[in-house]
Amino acid sequence: MLLKGPDSLIEQNQNIDLLRFATAGSVDDGKSTLIGRLLYDSKSIFEDQLNSIKTFSKTHRNQEIDYSLVTDGLKSEREQGITIDVAYRFFSTPKRRFIIADTPGHEQYTKNMATGASNASLALILIDARNGVVTQTKRHSFISSLLGIRNFVVAVNKMDLVDYSEEVFENIVSEFNAFADKLSEESIYYIPISALKGDNVIERSENMPWYKGSTLLDYLENVNVSGGRNLTDFRFPVQYVNWGGGDDFRGYCGTIASGVVHKGDKVRVLPSGKTSHISRIVTYDGDLDYAFAPMAVTLCLEDDIDISRGDLIAKVDDLPAIAGSLEANIVWMDSAPMEIGKDYLIKHTTSMVKGNFGEVLHEFDPDDISMRSSKFLSLNEIGKVKVELKKPIFPDIYSENKFTGSFIVIDPLTNQTAAAGMISKYHQVSPDKACKAVKARVIRYPGDKKEEAQADYDRLSMHGTHCIYVDDDLLQETLCKGIPADSEQYSEAIEDLCKIVTRSGVSVVVCSDHLNS
Ligand SMILES: Nc1nc2c(ncn2[C@@H]2O[C@H](COP(=O)(O)OP(=O)(O)OP(=O)(O)O)[C@@H](O)[C@H]2O)c(=O)[nH]1
């Protein structure tokens, strides 16, 4: 029998040939120029954009075409002559489609570099032939490696400025090789190029007859890289609960972080530990028999289980950890340094919990990836750190699952992203403890679902959840006495009540026709 899957078989095929790569390196190594050339030569630039770039190049740069303008899209960048954010570019050749994250080389932009590299399966490291391997090159290569990138292309650029010297190239190869011994890479390919003149980018260079390897485009078109997305372990972080799809409809919406799910699969919901079976996989284009990462779907379960945002659905025989503390590699991105013991917000998949840093186990020296002791991390520093969580999360180890193995750290005072973390170890808490940590919540039922609401309340109480039950009858006798039921004041009073009660750690089952959301 043919399973009715996502009707985009074509899309799947297209995905096979999609290579996402990130550029990395130091400031002015020529990344933007190189990408500009790749886009230009593969005819991926619109005519009008090309015309304006040519005009700008002539008037402001005194040259025929400045390729870096293709990616330096922002006006302020043009004026300053630097790249200030990650620019995603798309181009394709008959052999492959490419998405490039053009990440900036400036020291303070490690954050964008990490963002750009987090979805890539290959890192294109640019090195200025005149400068050799510098700290930025090492730092960015190390971050790429921490983020799970296993394939590197090192393009030694500006070969035209060193007389296309084989010796210069070989020295840089040896230098990077010595450093890369400490990266957990699968492949490194070295190419001498001139992004400006076009040597070995698309066309083989006549200026470097000593180089016998592939041109950059040739290599990118043919390199074999693993996709990086885990298609084994099904993980579905719930984004929100949708019960607006008609009678009795309750669906859990989100994006499949990893793995595959079929209709009928037996699943467990964390943290409650409740099990059920998938009854429907709903999408905008209709129901599916199966779905896989990274599809956005709504899952329905055979049983009515209390699920809310931040919960995670996985298969019963393949569960993530329930972790109360972690060890993680942290890339610090905030100008305010890490404060040991301070409460930060830890955003892991769709859940947000409070947590703090206990101890820096070691900091990495980006020059040689050696470890040194450190009390805390500052901007751009990378280290392995212990993280204590106020409530459990359901992680995997980063090397096994990028999506459930990573988190970001937010400073609650400034709302700034302070760091990115990659989990290397976790300490499990007992499932009982995890259940107790389920936060107080509001479970809403429309007014005509009194029976279901009361049954839910009974079930929760029976399982030891602290909760109260309210419906319109009770509200009109007490809190909302004299307030017209269809007034805004009435709905607001219900919301206020829910807020006050949940704040004190008690859940509310509310059954009313006058709910705000
Ligand atoms: N001679 C020569 N100059 C180059 C080459 N590649 C880039 N350049 C020049 O080097 C300068 C920096 O190039 P960009 O492409 O803007 O460098 P970038 O790495 O993107 O720099 P940021 O965007 O600031 O991170 C520009 O003036 C380029 O014209 C090359 O192969 N040879």
486: amino acid identity, one letter: D
Q: Which pairs with CB-CB distance under 8 Å and at least 24 residues apart come from 498-505?
A: 498/442, 501/440, 501/468, 502/439, 502/440, 502/441, 502/442, 503/440, 504/440, 505/440, 505/466
Beta pairing class for 151-157 and 122-128: parallel
> Ligand 1 centre from 312 Cα, in Å?
46
The CATH class, in words, for 323-434 is mainly beta
Which of 163 and 30 is assigned the larger pLDDT? 163
Q: Whose CA is nearest to atom 7 of ligand 1?
A: 30
**Pairwise pLDDT comparison (242 vs 221), residue with the higher score:** 221
What are the sequence ranges of the domains in the chain? 6-222, 235-315, 323-434, 440-511
Confidence band, pLDDT 50/70/90 cuts, at residue 403? confident
Lowest mean pLDDT among 124-138, 238-252, 267-281: 238-252
Contact 516, 491 (CB under 8 A): yes
394 or 39, greater pLDDT: 394
- CA angle, corner 218, sides to 215 and 223, nearest 5? 115
Residue 16 to residue 12: CA distance in whole angstroms: 7
List, for residues 51-77, the tens digit of each pLDDT value.
Answer: 777 777 787 777 777 777 766 554 444
Q: Which CATH architecture has domain 6-222?
A: 3-Layer(aba) Sandwich (3.40)
Question: Per residue in 370-393, pLDDT tens?
Answer: 888 889 999 888 899 999 998 889
Report how far ligand 1's centroid is from the alpha carbon of 77 (Å): 14
For atom 32 of ligand 1, which residue has the closest CA? 158
pLDDT > 90: percent of the chain:
32
Of the listed ranges 77-91, 189-203, 243-257, the one predicted with least confidence: 77-91
Which 8-state DSSP code applies to residue 163? Answer: T
Is pLDDT above 80 for 453?
yes
Closest ligand 1 atom to residue 25 Cα is 19
pLDDT in tens, 132-148: 999 888 888 888 887 77
The CA-atom distances, in angstroms, between 230 and each of 33, 42, 234, 294, 312 are 34, 31, 9, 10, 16
Q: Residue 101 and residue 105: Cα distance in Å, rounded?
A: 12
Q: Which protein residues are within 6 Å of ligand 1, measured from CB?
A: 27-33, 68, 82-83, 104-105, 157-158, 160-161, 194-196
Q: What pLDDT is stored for residue 336 in this prediction?
A: 92
Cα of 151 from ligand 1 centre, angstroms: 24
Q: Report how far residue 112's alpha carbon sits from residue 105's, in angstroms, rounded to the nearest whole number.
A: 9
What 8-state DSSP symbol labels residue 296?
A: E
Separation of alpha carbons 107 and 248, rounded Å: 54
* Residue 495 bridge partners (DSSP): none
Return the best residue to mutate from 34, 71, 126, 196 for the ligand 1 pocket (most ligand atoms within 8 A of CB): 196
- What is the 161 CA–ligand 1 centroid distance (Å)? 12
Using CA atoms, how far apart are residues 161 and 145, in angstroms rounded to an integer? 30
- Residue 221, phi then psi, degrees to nearest 5: -70, -25
Closest Cα to atom 14, ligand 1: which residue? 30
Q: Is the pLDDT of residue 20 over 60?
A: yes
Q: Rounded CA gap, 302 and 384, in Å?
A: 42
pLDDT(446) > 70: yes
Q: How far is the CA of 215 from the centre of ligand 1 (A)?
A: 19
**Where is 53: in which H helix or E strand?**
helix 47-56
At residue 319, what is the residue type? L
The reported pLDDT for the residue numbered 458 is: 80
pLDDT of residue 12: 44
Q: At what angle do helices 135-146 and 166-180 cross, to 10 degrees?
A: 50
Residue 433 has pLDDT above 80, yes or no: no
Does domain 235-315 fall under CATH 2.40.30.10? My reply is: yes
Question: Is the confidence at residue 412, as pLDDT, over 50?
Answer: yes
- Residue 428 is predicted with a pLDDT of 82
| Predicted TM-score of the model (pTM) | 0.66
Percentage of the chain beyond pLDDT 70 is 84
Q: Return the ligand 1 atom nearest residue 194 CA.
A: 31
Cα 40 from chain centre: 29
Atom index in ligand 1 nearest the CA of residue 102 equals 20
Name the residue with the closest Cα to ligand 1, atom 6: 30
| Token duo for residue 356 | 């703090």
Q: What is the mean pLDDT of the chain?
A: 83
Residues with Cβ < 8 Å from 274, sequence gap 6 or more? 268, 303, 305, 306
| Site to substitute for ligand 1 among 32, 37, 40, 191, most atoms within 8 A of C-beta | 32
Gap from CA of 78 to ligand 1 centroid (Å): 13
In this predicted structure, which of 44-58, 223-237, 460-474 has the lowest mean pLDDT? Answer: 44-58
For residue 188, pLDDT over 60 is answered with: yes
310, 237 contact by CB (below 8 A)? yes
- More confident position, 282 or 80: 282
**Could you tell me which of 261, 209, 275 has the C-alpha nearest to residue 431?**
275
The C-alpha atoms of residue 439 and residue 191 are separated, in whole angstroms, by 54
Question: Hey, do 235-315 and 323-434 end up sharing a CATH topology, with the first three levels equal?
Answer: yes
Looking at residue 486, its pLDDT comes to 87
61, 68, 80, 168: residue to mutate for ligand 1 pocket, most atoms within 8 A of CB: 68
Phi and psi torsions of 263, nearest 5°: -60, 135
Which residue, judged by its Cα, is nearest atom 2 of ligand 1? 158
Ligand 1: atom nearest CA of 72 is 23
Could you give the count of Cα atoms lying within 13 Å of 19 in the half-sphere of its Cβ?
Answer: 24
What is the Å distance from ligand 1's center to 158 Cα?
Answer: 8
